[in-house]
Amino acid sequence: MDKKATWDRFYTESSSRTATFKNFEWFFSFDTVRDFIMPLLQTKSHPDALLQVLDMGCGTSSLGPSIYRHSTLPCRVTCADISPVAVRLMQEHVRTEAIQPLNLSSQLEFVELDCTQLHKRYSSGTLDLIVDKGTTDALVRSKEGRGKASVVLKQCLKALRVSGSLLQFSDEDPDARLLWLETEAREQGVVAADVAVQEVGELRGVCYYCYQITPRAVG
Ligand SMILES: C[S@@+](CC[C@H](N)C(=O)[O-])C[C@H]1O[C@@H](n2cnc3c(N)ncnc32)[C@H](O)[C@@H]1O
């Protein structure tokens, strides 16, 4: 679940099943999760700056493009994935679709990026919002277990502004995920973080949650 080749194969096969491109949602579409996301994009950290949003492990989901489309404040939405196949499919899709954002200053981009290397692209305190729909779940379920997910969480907390948030949409039970998040957040040297959870809903008998992690300055 954390291997580039596995995901490349997955997106190659799913795109070959239909003649025209169709977004693939691992679970839930934008409409189900929008009320968790859009209220976090109501205030700008700097008057002149674009809100910086990262959809981490975007796959071919419509989540990032929908945030770009519906944000009233100007934002730059970066949709990043380890799979170049997913990135190319999305780049081609938005080129043909020509999505119009509510705010004409908003920007949308797709990049190939291994989220364990987030620090190579983002300096500390530069992102306003990171959304992760199923990506940490994929890392947690890899052979290495939580090791890689912990590296990613640490980098997300570094890359976020103090006022920013990381939203993890996941089917992992709060008993396990909250304990892990709270332990990891306590272990951060420079920043600590507040952790909260809300239920999103059920899909095919599985309950999904939204974990919100907000860094706070310590000292
Ligand atoms: C469960 S899928 C979720 C995809 C999408 N967010 C959705 O909701 O449909 C996990 C995604 O994480 C990506 N991924 C896995 N490991 C990654 C890594 N180290 N860096 C960036 N993306 C990764 C995969 O390519 C895949 O697209």
Range of the domain at 204: 4-217
- What's the mean per-residue pLDDT of the chain? 93
Residue 28 has pLDDT above 90, yes or no: yes
Q: Give per-residue pLDDT as tens, 140-156.
A: 988 777 899 999 999 99
- Cα(195)–Cα(116) distance, rounded to whole angstroms? 21
Query: Do 63 and 27 form a contact (C-beta atoms < 8 A)?
Result: no
Q: Identify the pLDDT of residue 2.
A: 67
Residue 139 has pLDDT above 60, yes or no: yes
Is residue 134 within 6 Å of ligand 1 at its C-beta?
yes
Q: Identify the pLDDT of residue 186.
A: 78
CA distances from 80 to 114, 115, 145 (A): 8, 8, 22
Q: What is the number of domains present in the chain?
A: 1
Q: Identify the pLDDT of residue 163.
A: 85
Task: Write the residue with the smallest CA distance to atom 3 of ligand 1.
Answer: 134
- Cα(67)–Cα(53) distance, rounded to whole angstroms? 9
- Cα(194)–Cα(215) distance, rounded to whole angstroms? 6
Bridge-based pairing state of the strands 75-81 and 107-112: parallel
Is residue 64 within 6 Å of ligand 1 at its C-beta?
no
Is residue 180 within 6 Å of ligand 1 at its C-beta?
no
Is residue 156 within 6 Å of ligand 1 at its C-beta?
no
What average pLDDT does this structure show over 163-174? 96
Residue 218 has pLDDT above 80, yes or no: no
Q: Identify the pLDDT of residue 192.
A: 76
* Lowest mean pLDDT segment, chosen from 111-125, 133-147, 163-177, 194-208: 133-147
Q: Give per-residue pLDDT as tens, 35-85.
A: 999 999 998 777 778 999 999 999 999 999 999 999 999 999 999 999 999
Q: Give per-residue pLDDT as tens, 91-138.
A: 999 999 889 999 999 999 999 999 999 999 999 999 999 999 999 999
Mutate to test the pocket of ligand 1, among 135, 148, 172 (most ligand atoms within 8 A of CB): 135
Distance 47 CA to ligand 1 centre (A): 32
Residue 187 has pLDDT above 90, yes or no: no
CATH (domain of 46): 3.40.50.150
Q: Identify the pLDDT of residue 191.
A: 57
Q: Identify the pLDDT of residue 189.
A: 55
CA distances from 192 to 112, 113, 179, 181 (A): 29, 25, 15, 11
